[in-house]
Structure 1
Amino acid sequence: MAFLIASIIVFNTIAFFIPKNMTRAEIYSALLFASVFQLITDYYLIEKYDLYGYFDKGPEFKELLVFYGVFPAVNTIYLNFFPFSGKVIVKVIYILAWAAFITLYEWASVKSGYFYYSGWKLGYSALLYPIIFCVLTLNFVILRKLERHE
C-alpha cells in the first residue's frame, strides 16, 4: 500500500504543478474518456475473464485509490506533454517511452502487492500499452477538433 500512496502523491503533485498545455475542459473530457475506457477494459478482463485484479479478488473500495488517485494524474501528464506538433517519429518514441514506463510501473505494482495476475502476463501489457496510449491520444485529437468547430 505504501507504493500506491507514494505513487498517488508523486503523480498528482506532478500533474498539479506542471505548466498546462490543455484547458480544464480538455483535461476533464480526456479524463472522463480514460476512466470509462479503463473501467470497461477492467470489467471484461477482471470480472469476465479473471485475468488480473487489484488487491484481492472482488471489488474493494481500495481500488478507487487506483482509479481516481493514479490513472487521472498519469493521463494528464501523458497528454500534457504529448508532442502534437512533432514529427511522427517523435510521437512514436514518446508513446513507446510511456508504454515502457507504465509497463515498469505495472511490474512494480505487482511486486508491491496492489496488483496481481491470474492468467495475465506483463508481456501482454507491454504489447497493449502502445495501443492504449494511441487510443487516448486519438480521443484527445478528436476532442480538440470538436472544440475548434464550436
Structure 2
Amino acid sequence: MIGLILAIILFNFIAFKTNRRHTQNSILHIWLFTIAFQLIFDTMIEFKYHGYWYFDKEVDWLGLLAHTLLIPPVNMIFLNWYPLQGRLRSRILYTLIWVAAIMGYELLTLLPEPWGYFHYGWWNLWYAAILDPFLFYILIKFYRWIRSLEERI
C-alpha cells in the first residue's frame, strides 16, 4: 500500500509539474483513454484469467487506485517527452527505454507488502516486455489523433 501511494504521488507530481505539451483537453483525453483501455484489458487478463492482480484476486477499492490514478500520469509523462517529430530511430529508442523503465518499476511492485502491491498469476515480466511497445504505439496514435482534432478547433 505504501508503494502504491508513493508512486501515485510521485508520478502525478512529475506529470503535472513537467507538463509542457498537454492542454487540459488532451490531459482529460489521456486520462480517460488510459483508464478505459486499461480496464478493458485488465477485465480479461486480471479478473477473468487471473494473469495478475493488484492486492488480491478480487475486485477491490485499493486496486481501483492503481487503475485510475497510477497509469494515466505515467502516460502523460511518456507523451510529454515523446519525440513526435523525431526520427524513427529516436522514437523507437525512446519507447524501448520506457519499456525497460516500466519493467524495472514492475519488479519493484512485486516486492512484499507494504511496498509492493502487484502479483503474478501465469503472467510474467516478458509478456509485459513484448506487449508494452504495442500499448505505447496505440497511445501515441490516440494522442496524435487528439492533437489533430484540437488543431481543427
> For residue 103 of structure 1, what is the aligned residue in structure 2?
103
What does residue range 1-150 of structure 1 map to in structure 2 within 5 Å? 1-112=1-112, 113-150=116-153
TM-score, reference length from structure 1: 0.94
CA distance in structure 2 between the aligned counterparts of 1:52 and 1:24, rounded to whole angstroms: 33
Contact 2:47 2:59 (C-alpha < 8 Å) held by counterparts: no
Gaps of 5+ in 1: none
Identity of aligned residues (%): 39
* Greater mean alpha carbon deviation, residues 118-127 or residues 68-77: 68-77
Kindly provide the amino acid, as one letter, of the partner of residue 26 in structure 1.
S
Contact 2:52 2:121 (C-alpha < 8 Å) held by counterparts: yes
Gaps of 5+ in 2: none
CA distance in structure 1 between the aligned counterparts of 2:30 and 2:11, rounded to whole angstroms: 17
Kindly state the Cα deviation for residue 104 of structure 1 after the two structures are TM-superposed: 1.1
Q: Give the root-mean-square deviation of aligned CA atoms.
A: 1.2
Contact 2:46 2:52 (C-alpha < 8 Å) held by counterparts: yes
Counterpart of 1:21 in 2: which secondary structure? coil
Counterpart of 1:130 in 2: which secondary structure? helix
The CA deviation string for residues 93-145 of structure 1, in whole angstroms up to 9 with x for no partner, is 11111111111111111124311111111110011111111110111011112
CA distance in structure 1 between the aligned counterparts of 2:81 and 2:44, rounded to whole angstroms: 30
Q: How many residues align?
A: 150
The CA deviation string for residues 36-84 of structure 1, in whole angstroms up to 9 with x for no partner, is 1100000010122111111011011001221222112111111111111
Mark the CA change 1:19 to 1:44 in structure 2 (over 3 Å): closer, same or farther.
closer
CA distance in structure 1 between the aligned counterparts of 2:8 and 2:90, rounded to whole angstroms: 28
Kindly provide the amino acid, as one letter, of the partner of residue 131 in structure 1.
F
Counterpart of 1:84 in 2: which secondary structure? coil
TM-score, reference length from structure 2: 0.92
